[in-house]
Chain A
């Protein structure tokens, strides 16, 4: 099992604050994805990073893939209540022919107005 640990597990912040969520593993992944999940719904893909060191920006969200492709971070600038949700990182297996995702433990973010 390729374990992905996220930190923090829970985060409650005021609107307008910045935050960073971390996703760490001892395994190398061919790519890493970040999802946001609302209660009662399926995870929705935010971004996919595939190259070590890659940085992608999605409005106020910045995603980075570690140089060794073992870790990633998600930084949110000026958080808004609409950012509230469960954030999940997921690494794609490096095994040939397989594309199963190994999900992180999740970070539950609450942004207080």
Chain B
């Protein structure tokens, strides 16, 4: 158990819909990262937050957004969903945003868009 929790575990929805994925980092970790893992794209970095502020952006679509709240939990919002958005979405956390620090991954949310 990494100490990172993600809800829900599974999510099935239809194209055009909007969903919210939730992540609680390990106790004391200030930085949260979101990743998308699909069969053909591997594990792709989406976005990083540090202590409530956006720190780095990766291959995140404009239809996707995220935020980190004062209690440090984070939410990833996916809107206007398309079939190609079906994937595993992972959240990870680390103590700070310093390069080289270990990131601990949650169990993931499996999103299926029908």
Could you list which residues of chain A lie within 8 angstroms of chain B, going by C-beta atoms?
Answer: 1, 30-31, 33, 35, 40-45, 48, 50, 88, 90, 92-106
Q: How far, in whole Å, are A100 and B34 apart by their CA atoms in the complex?
A: 9
B11 is an interface residue with CB less than 8 A from chain A: no
Of B35, B56, B106, B108, the residue contacting A93 (CB under 8 A) is B56
Separation in Å of the B6 CB from the closest CB of chain A?
A: 8
B102 is an interface residue with CB less than 8 A from chain A: yes
B14-22, B40-48, B68-76, B79-87 - the one binding chain A: B40-48
Contact with A along B55-76 (1 / 0, CB 8 A): 1101100000000000000000
Could you list which residues of chain B lie within 8 angstroms of chain A, going by C-beta atoms?
Answer: 2, 4, 31, 33, 35, 42-45, 48, 55-56, 58-59, 90, 92, 94, 96-108, 110
Contact A42 B31 (CB under 8 A): no
Of B44, B99, B103, the residue contacting A98 (CB under 8 A) is B99
Given A98-B56, A105-B42, does the pair A92, B104 have CB atoms closer than 8 Å?
A: no
* Given A93-B99, A99-B33, 7 further pairs, Cβ under 8 A: A30-B99, A30-B100, A44-B2, A88-B43, A97-B97, A99-B56, A101-B33
Closest to A98 in B: B56
Q: How far, in whole Å, are A29 and B82 apart by their CA atoms in the complex?
A: 34
